[in-house]
Amino acid sequence: MNLRNTSSVTPAAGYAGDVSPELAWRWVQSGEAVLVDVRSDAEREWVGCVPSAVPLAWKQWPGMAMNPSFDEVIKAAVPAGHKAVLLCRSGVRSIAAAKRATELGLEAYNILEGFEGDANADGHRGLLAGWRQRGLPWRQN
């Protein structure tokens, strides 16, 4: 997926909207937003993470059980008046997490493409798009 406009918000139902990885990072750098990585602990450890992100799994591996601490932690992590920008592997779980954060009273956005982007024709992620492919800050343990 190639986002042509990396500076706009795409409206969404149930949360503030969808944003490009670049716009999310600009908001984080300017202090407007808190980046919340909702991937599982295992994904962040094995695939890579964004050093400044709040690590807060939406669902936890193995079994992908809901994180019972999600509500409490996200409310504590995002100060009043700040946006929450949510990142997952491909931009799907972060939609569900953004909807929940919105229900909790936060201004929450989904980061399009996620950390790894969509799979290519060979079923491999991390090559077409996503946070990592776009050259934004990340590290791997």
For residue 11, what is the DSSP state?
P
Contact of 39 with 67, CB cutoff 8 Å: no
The CATH number corresponding to 17-111 among 3.40.50.1970, 3.40.720.10, 3.40.250.10, 3.40.50.720 equals 3.40.250.10
Domain residue ranges of the chain, discontinuous segments joined by +: 17-111
Separation of alpha carbons 29 and 115, rounded Å: 17
For residue 52, what is the DSSP state?
T
Separation of alpha carbons 23 and 27, rounded Å: 6
pLDDT tens per residue across span 86-134: 999 988 899 999 999 999 999 999 999 999 988 888 888 877 789 999 9
Separation of alpha carbons 24 and 22, rounded Å: 5
pTM for this predicted structure: 0.92
